[in-house]
Structure 1
Amino acid sequence: MSRLRSVLMATLLGFTLLLSGCGYNDFQRLDEDVKGSWAEVLNQYQRRSDLIPNIVATVKGEANFEQETLTKVIQARASATSIQATPELINDPAAFQKFQAAQGQLTGALSRLMVVAEQYPNLKANQAFQDLRVQLEGTENRITVARNRYIKSVQQYNVLTRSFPSNLTAMIFSYAVKPSFTVANEAAISVPPSVSFDKPAATPAPAASR
């Protein structure tokens, strides 16, 4: 009995060392890091989404505001929120890509809204709108930081998943490659959209004809 126990203990020890040598512990650590960084991305996207109704309501109070720009923000938010933002998105590349495309459209629509708002003095003088602008700017910055952290976490995880001999551990324990942001939008990821009123609009409104 004692001999059998010794054999079992030796086998268990050998298996543990084998897993450790093949990156099992690293998979555990990096997988948790990816999940944590993705949760923060979702948190910041939700924070931005929660700001939009107040921004829209404030802008609607401005007479003759460009309706097409406002409508695009409303539609982009509806599209983004129609996709369920869950931790499981990082395990479904197609759903991940769809979610990120919707968020990218919302980013563009909001950026355009803020640029157009520069042309309305009443909005620029509206303290409530100014407060919302500052909150949005801070949120966009936090989104950028969260996305960059996610990119780095996924890169480390995916390198481990594809490398030998840790790729064998990945196959045994179903550690699949996780999706990240595409090369095409990495420039947008590294620089948050401008929502500052400090500079004049890029294309000023044409002067009224006399």
Structure 2
Amino acid sequence: GMSSGFKRMLTGQNLMVSDYSFKGENGSGVVALGTDFPSKILRLNLQDYDGKIVCQKSAYLAGSHTVDIELAFAKKFTTGFFGGEGFVLQSLTGEGEVLVKAGGTLVKRELKIGETLRVSSGCLVAFTKDVEYDVQMMPGFKNVLFGGEGLFVTTLTGPGIVWLQGMPPDRMISEIIRRVGPAGGGLGIPIPMGGGGAAAGDAGTD
């Protein structure tokens, strides 16, 4: 319904979604999907992760009709107040497969109970439901001033699995603008290509 559509919009998706169904009497059909940005595509079966994955805003690409896309908010007030895009997340629940997009190198990391991983904001792609998510201020004045990673970092605490991306789209766009300049001049720009489609997601996450 419309209410579900507006909720999807808050997570960075379109108001409407397209459904593709095979109507033939036998055999199967093929649907080709792509992203609006050079990306790797991570293929996940929700049943392998207790029926739920939490993703960064706009990370969801496609999924089975049995998958629900819902809003998920950071639990801590500090995350919402300071974390920017990290405040609103996508909760993918149900049964079946989902395709999630990521830029640059894709890394899968399993966290033990109580183990904490600190990552640059924007590099998070997805995590399993038991991972604790927060955004914290970068410690140390020198780190804030000269670290180049911004004022805040994302912290992920296990147990669970997290997926990270090496080149978030916003960061790549900023790098292009920095190298080319607002007037469009400058030298050539090395652009990392994700490539590989769903197969890259299967092979590049271990």
Between Structure 1 and Structure 2, the one with more helix by share is 1
Between Structure 1 and Structure 2, the one with more strand by share is 2
Tell me the TM-score normalised to structure 1 length. Answer: 0.24
Q: Which has the higher relative contact order, 1 or 2, with Cα contacts under 8 A spaced 6 or more apart?
A: 1
